Structure 1
Amino acid sequence: MAHGRGGLEPGCVIHSDRGSEYISAQSHDRIDQLGLRQNCGRTGSCFDNAAAESFWALLKEEIGTRTWPDRATARAEVFTFIETFYNRRRLRKHKIFGYLTPAETRQRHQHALAA
């Protein structure tokens, strides 16, 4: 989804922890097909995944950790959180990021590359 919606260029790095879903052969093959590079954090180092851990904490805080009636409902709620709140309305509350949303940050970056 990040590749399709975010317009990731070949060679972009996909960073994750060492969860089985990220280090599986299927995931590795897909990353290769997209021309991306994979990077995994070190085992036991929370500093390698600070941004990812921050995202998961925010997701759990906002939509909770409950049982949904089915997988489709859970996916829809997570998608809505990411696409309508996290990427488009949540401000990155730090002056180094210019107090922009992630979508605005990406747009500025792509504009700077085009220039």
Structure 2
Amino acid sequence: VLDCFSRRIIGHSIDIRQTTELVVDAMAAAVARRKPAKDATILHSDHGTQFTSWTFGKRLRDAGLLGSMGTVGDCYDNAMIESFWGSMQLELLDTRKWQTRAELAAAVFEWIECWYNPFRRHSSLEMLSPVDYEERHRTSNPAT
């Protein structure tokens, strides 16, 4: 789950397949991390079956999140997360062969939490990392 404001990854999960449980787990992690205001936060997804499932919709509503989906076949509404996937593919996944799923999960966690969020700079964030961009916003707008 990517926060569009800062490009920070706020929820992630890994499994052998892209299932409803996988995306529900990632969403739950994001909700636990951010504690979003009820009916004030939008979670945008594509039209994959895991996002159109009854379970995902119920968990979305239970968390007080507003669901959003673009039109079918529209590549632009998910461009930000696709850019993230491309970066992770190039900077981590393609760098070696992974012996076990646990090894890969640990590497993904470390790449996101120890590199991407705190240090990887983005041109769209004035060359700041997601963590630094959020901190700059927090200190310049203390009421938010």
Consecutive unaligned residues in structure 2, runs of 5 or more: 1-28
Q: Alignment length, in residue pairs? A: 113
Q: Does residue 1:104 correspond to 2:132, yes or no?
A: yes
Please say if 1:88 is aligned against 2:118.
yes
SS at structure 1 position matched to 2:36? coil
Q: Secondary structure at the match of 1:47?
A: coil
Alignment of 1:60-71 (within 5 A): 60-64=89-93, 68-71=98-101
Query: How well do the aligned residues superpose, as a CA RMSD in angstroms?
Result: 2.3
- Counterpart amino acid of 1:98? E
Distance in 2, Cα, partners of 1:77 & 1:100? 23
| Aligned equivalent of 2:103, options 47, 66, 73 | 73
Q: After TM superposition, give the deviation of residue 38 of structure 1 in Å.
A: 1.3
Whole-Å Cα distance in 1 between the matches of residues 62 and 112 of structure 2?
A: 25
Work out the percentage of aligned pairs sharing the same amino acid: 34
Q: Which has the higher helix share?
A: 1
Amino acid at match of 1:101: S
* TM superposition shift of 1:18: 1.5
**Post-superposition offset of 1:86:** 1.3
5+ residue gaps, structure 1, are: none
Give the one of 36, 40, 59 matched to 2:65: 36
The change in CA–CA distance for 1:44 and 1:71 in structure 2 (over 3 A counts) is same
Counterpart of 1:3, as a letter, is: V
Using the size of structure 2 for normalisation, the TM-score is: 0.65
CA distance in 2, matches of 1:48, 1:89: 25
Alignment of 1:5-44 (within 5 A): 5-10=33-38, 11-44=40-73
Identify the structure with bigger relative contact order (alpha carbons < 8 Å, sequence gap 6+): 2
